[in-house]
Amino acid sequence: MTIFVEGITKSYGRNPVLRGLTFSAQAGEITLLVGPNGAGKSTTMKVLAGLTCPDGGTARIGETNILNERIRAQRFLSYFPQRPSFHPRMTCAEILRFYARLRGVASSRYEAVFDLAGLRDFERVRTGELSGGTRQRLGLALLLLPDAPVLLLDEPGLSLDPGWRKRLQETLRFEAGRGKSVLVTTHLIAEWNKVAHRCLLCRDGQIERELDPTNLPHNFDETESAGRDVPGSSTTDEPRLSIVR
């Protein structure tokens, strides 16, 4: 399913974050959304996940309007927020089983994503005791659990070591190869060189230009990512991870 964003606007108080944002992310491709802090990337992901309403514009997954048919649209997607968090007293297995029941996922799928995320040794470990990297891997397992046709990932490489970031990319390439739409925000732009199919530069709430995904280090200086923070779009306001129904 293709993701369509057309003329989306969003402000937090008097601070405009999205200013007529327009782009599409095609099925069967990984699309990167890059840009400095405060550019509106995380807000865009929240709009697409149905977690916040824009002030104007439209957003669709296939033919389903996210704004008018939010619950239906959420059935087609899986969302990985920037900093996933979980109930600290629940174990990894309890978290995955809860979401598996919520989405009606078969036990075979549960076992597969558990192993894919390398969590077998942490099955009975409470999430409050996990390292940041292992918590990210639990988030990855939850992302893949429902086998949704649209995957939204907001800075998924945070806290992951280089080996696991590479494994994440390989997994997303595989999922895109199965026909899924994969939309990723990231500051680790050079690592995605020749991995993503498209790369869109977002600045001041608009798509400024499209970058060559095979020559990213020369198209975008990663020091540009250290921009200003906009209230309501900072890296500290992310919601708890939820594989949306």
Please report, for the chain, the start and end positions of each structural domain, with discontinuous segments joined by +.
3-82+148-225
* The pair of three-digit structure tokens given for residue 231, joined into one six-digit string: 């209230």
Higher pLDDT, 106 or 32: 32
pLDDT at 128: 94
| Tokens 């998924």 found at | 156
The CATH class of 3-82+148-225 is alpha beta
- What is the pLDDT of the chain when averaged over all its residues? 88
Average pLDDT over residues 158-177: 94
pLDDT at 222: 53
- Other residues' Cβ atoms within 10 Å of the Cβ of residue 228: 8
Given a cut of 90, whether residue 208 has pLDDT beyond it is yes
Q: What is the largest distance, in Å, between two alpha-carbon atoms of the chain?
A: 49
How would residue 234 be classed by pLDDT, with cut points 50, 70 and 90? very low
Q: What are phi and psi of 214, to 5 degrees?
A: -100, 0
pLDDT in tens, 111-155: 899 899 999 999 999 999 999 999 999 999 999 999 999 999 999
β 150-154/77-80 pair status:
parallel
Average pLDDT over residues 235-242: 36
Which H or E run contains 30? strand 30-34
pLDDT in tens, 23-79: 999 999 999 999 999 999 999 999 999 999 999 999 999 999 999 999 999 999 999
How would residue 221 be classed by pLDDT, with cut points 50, 70 and 90? low
Given a cut of 70, whether residue 229 has pLDDT beyond it is no
How would residue 83 be classed by pLDDT, with cut points 50, 70 and 90? confident
pLDDT at 239: 32
Q: 197 vs 8, 79, 213, CA distance in Å?
A: 23, 20, 6
Given a cut of 70, whether residue 193 has pLDDT beyond it is yes
Average pLDDT over residues 76-89: 92
SS3 6: strand
Dihedral (CA of 70, 245, 53, 81) sign: negative
